Amino acid sequence: MAGNLASVRDRLPAGVRPYFEAAPFAALFLGMSSGFPYAMIGATLTTRLAQDGIDKKSVTTFALVFLAYNFKFLWAWVVEGVRLPLLGRLGQRVSWMLFTSALVIVAVINLGLMDPKADIMAVALAAIFVGVAGATFDIVIDAYRIELLEPRQLGVGAGMSQYGWRIGAAGAGALALVAADPMQWNLGWDAAYMLCAVFALPAAFTALIMGEPARHKEVAARKTLKTLGAAIIGPFAEFLQRSGAWLVLLFILLHKIGDTLANLTLRLLFEDLGYSNTEIAIYDVGVGFWALLAGIFVGGVLYARLGLKRSVLFSLILMAVSNFSFALLAAAGHSNTGMALAIGFENFASGIGGVCVVAYFSALTDLRFTAAQYALISAFASIVGRFMTGTTAGALIEAFGYVNYYLFTTAIALPGILLFWLMMRAGLIDASIGTAGTEKAED
């Protein structure tokens, strides 16, 4: 892979070459696999439940399934330190990548076989299985990506990972919609989910090709209950001992509330505005995908020119404003142009934020505890928004309507922006960086 990429890279403009280095290019394929389980229990399941006549409160309650992603730090230590039998000889990260990719495939196929009309509880349990499997898959993927990238590549790698994430989420989402659409392939939701399961394979193949990351540092063997306790608590204790760590965690909790509340309810808005599956696939998935690609590219430029702190602040403001576009769409009604503009702007802003914010979060980790610490960071990043979506979003939409709901998601993003600005002023952003943002691989 490295030799072929080098020959291609040498013929590209200087600003584009970093994206075609082996490690950032590998991050693209890791992101593809990371994004698809999220789509299967997110927008795709929301559309399926809505079309089967499940009420809004029940549909939005399924957002609680995503809490598996928010509590993944509780079992991240297993991925960090438990050696898998047989597969373990391939390396800690590679073996867990293969195991979790197989687990996700089984979970997604199982969810596809469930019938919401016959047994909604069985669907809920199957969705939880996908959530837990996908969250564990993410623990491995994130740790592998961070350890594969050099500090100078974290921004580019974050961008490529975001490209891949959206390719996986959008590709799986569009494939499921078209495959299940009675006016298109009409294969049914069970076959649609089976087809989408192949999106787990890019990460597995990437791990086999790239091998164990050079920056990976093995955790000491777990021999007693005392050392096991230290293994579980140690990563979090190290993080919390840093200057301003509690404010950093507060920012992580707050920064994405509005974005999460908006995005996890969009398919309900589209259904109520009368969009067909094909229109959703074209405008939500299709236009959104290309807008995201543009946003990621712009995010890379901004990150390089503005630096980490100013680029993150700018992206936070842009993502907050993007929620306002959905209030405008809700007020306008069924409009393909309006949907394309709203989705385009939101994805463009998310692309910029994905590069800048993810690069910052990746740099926060200590290479001794990459899996556990990034699991904590990424889990905290959306837990409040997901909990609110699952418990109150449906009721808020029914009580206040879509326009006021999306205005609320815009306003609730402001505290995170203000906190980051204050952290910048106090010098806490630089103080919070871990070894993943400073230490290179050993020769």
Q: pLDDT for 150-174, tens place per residue?
A: 888 888 888 899 889 878 988 898 8
Considering the chain, what is the average pLDDT of its residues?
85
**Tokens 């929301």 belong to residue:** 46
Q: What letter represents residue 394's amino acid?
A: G
pLDDT at 223 over 50: no
Q: Are 137 and 203 in contact (CB under 8 A)?
A: yes
What pLDDT, on the 0 to 100 scale, is given for residue 272? 83
What length does the chain have?
Answer: 443
Q: Are 414 and 251 in contact (CB under 8 A)?
A: no
Q: Are 366 and 242 in contact (CB under 8 A)?
A: no
- Percent helix, strand, coil in the chain, to 5, is 80, 0, 20
- Average pLDDT of the segment spanning 428-435: 86
What is the H or E stretch that residue 36 is in? helix 22-41
Q: Would you call 114 helix, strand, or coil by DSSP? A: coil
Q: Among candidates 73, 229, 202, 228, which has minimal Cα distance to 143?
A: 73
What pLDDT, on the 0 to 100 scale, is given for residue 317? 93
- Average pLDDT of the segment spanning 62-66: 76
Residues 244 and 376: their CA atoms lie apart, in Å, by 16
Q: Are 217 and 441 in contact (CB under 8 A)?
A: no
Residues 27 and 114: their CA atoms lie apart, in Å, by 32
Percent of the chain with pLDDT over 90: 28
DSSP string, 214-253: TT--PPPP--SHHHHHHHHHHHHHHHHTSTTHHHHHHHHH
What pLDDT, on the 0 to 100 scale, is given for residue 7? 66
Q: Are 63 and 57 in contact (CB under 8 A)?
A: no
Residues 238 and 434: their CA atoms lie apart, in Å, by 10
pLDDT at 395 over 80: no
What pLDDT, on the 0 to 100 scale, is given for residue 100? 97
Residues 362 and 241: their CA atoms lie apart, in Å, by 18
DSSP string, 193-212: HHHHGGGGHHHHHHHHHH-S
pLDDT at 256 over 50: yes
- Look at phi and psi of residue 107 and say left if phi exceeds 0, alpha if psi is from -120 to 50, else beta: alpha
Burial annotation 378-387 (CB, 10 A radius, 16+ → b, else e): bbbbbbbbbb
Burial annotation 307-346 (CB, 10 A radius, 16+ → b, else e): ebbebbbbbbbbbbebbbbbbbbbeeeeeeebbbbbbbbb
Distances, alpha carbon 254 to alpha carbons 178, 245, 248, 260, 362, in Å: 36, 14, 10, 11, 18
Which of 54-58, 172-176, 205-209, 332-336 is predicted with the least confidence, judged by mean pLDDT? 54-58
CA 110 centroid distance within chain? 22
Q: Among candidates 113, 143, 142, 144, which has minimal Cα distance to 40?
A: 113
Task: Give the confidence band of 102 by pLDDT, cuts at 50, 70, 90.
Answer: very high
Task: Give the confidence band of 288 by pLDDT, cuts at 50, 70, 90.
Answer: confident
DSSP 8-state secondary structure symbol assigned to residue 84: P
Residues 109 and 133: their CA atoms lie apart, in Å, by 12
- Average pLDDT of the segment spanning 351-378: 88
Count other C-beta atoms under 10 Å from residue 440's C-beta. Answer: 11
Q: What letter represents residue 442's amino acid?
A: E
Task: Give the confidence band of 238 by pLDDT, cuts at 50, 70, 90.
Answer: confident
More confident residue, 415 or 67: 415
